[in-house]
Amino acid sequence: MEENVEEVRVLEAEIEHLQAEVAALQSQQQENQKNMTFQLRGKMQDAMSYMCGRRQGGGKEKMLSMLKEEVEEMEEDLKRQTQMNGISLTSCTTKILQSSGSKLVRQLCVSGHCSDLVFQVEFQLSEVKDGQACEKSISDLNVVIDSSDLQDFSNFLSGVEESNDLLLLFRTLRAFSDRCDDRCRTFQHFQEKYPSVVSLPGGCRSEVMTLNHPELPGCVLFVHWSVEVSREGEVTPKIDLVTKIPEQALQLFPSQPVGGAVEAFQSLLRILGAEAALESVIRAVSLSQDS
């Protein structure tokens, strides 16, 4: 008899445990539905309410039409945002880490690209409600960018991750990408215009363009065009001219300092700008044979 009583007690304890788990799951489901409903708006909310069984008038066709219209409007908004800021998002996942009456903490992972720069951003978004007000904050920011041209970008990324400044990240990413695109277009332009002089050993998106003439073997000029980014997000192009001249050629002109060409190029940069200064140097190297 005592064994049966003990067995009943064990079964009752298991039942209570299962009931507690069921109650917790139901509570989590209700909270998730509440969060989802809170995020929906307008016609999207009406359509989702209908699909969940809470009809608010109108037929099924009307609700589906409203849902389709809302999705199209959101797609148009996303398209306009992409055109304005140059950043295209390819995926976005979210996970609820904490949910209570006044606080919601979610982990988000956003992937996309800005021109040829592919990025993945992970962060935690906390929302704390105080009456009608809602305070949002970002923490645990982690940024991964797939590109080989990030030597001058790594210090900035470290600073952004420390400050959790997501807005500064995307604003600077766009500016950095634009300057890299400017360099790429310029390099491609001169390679097509002066094919016998200009070469791009690392491709059009590399930092180096070489200038040499077939009749001047061993005499090479290197244009090094980097894009520097400060920790504060200031994007600055930097263009340098590096010479490589054989010792025999230097002996023919002992009175001419090698650094003269470098200094002259920097003066041209300040006066004419990048493209015109490069054009002048390339035409000098090409001996005006290419037009």
Residues 217, 223: Cα–Cα separation, whole Å: 18
| pLDDT in the model for residue 40 | 44
Residues 281, 264: Cα–Cα separation, whole Å: 10
- Element (DSSP H or E) covering residue 225: strand 220-229
| pLDDT in the model for residue 212 | 85
| pLDDT in the model for residue 53 | 55
- The per-residue pLDDT for range 84-97, each reduced to its tens digit, is 667 888 888 888 88
Q: For the chain, list residues with pLDDT below 50.
A: 33-41, 249-258, 289-291
Which residues make beta-bridge pairs with 105? Answer: 98, 126
- The per-residue pLDDT for range 178-195, each reduced to its tens digit, is 999 999 999 999 999 999
Q: By C-alpha distance, which of 99, 214, 227 is closest to 152?
A: 227
| pLDDT in the model for residue 54 | 52
| pLDDT in the model for residue 117 | 84
Tell me the whole-structure pTM to 2 decimals: 0.67
| pLDDT in the model for residue 235 | 92
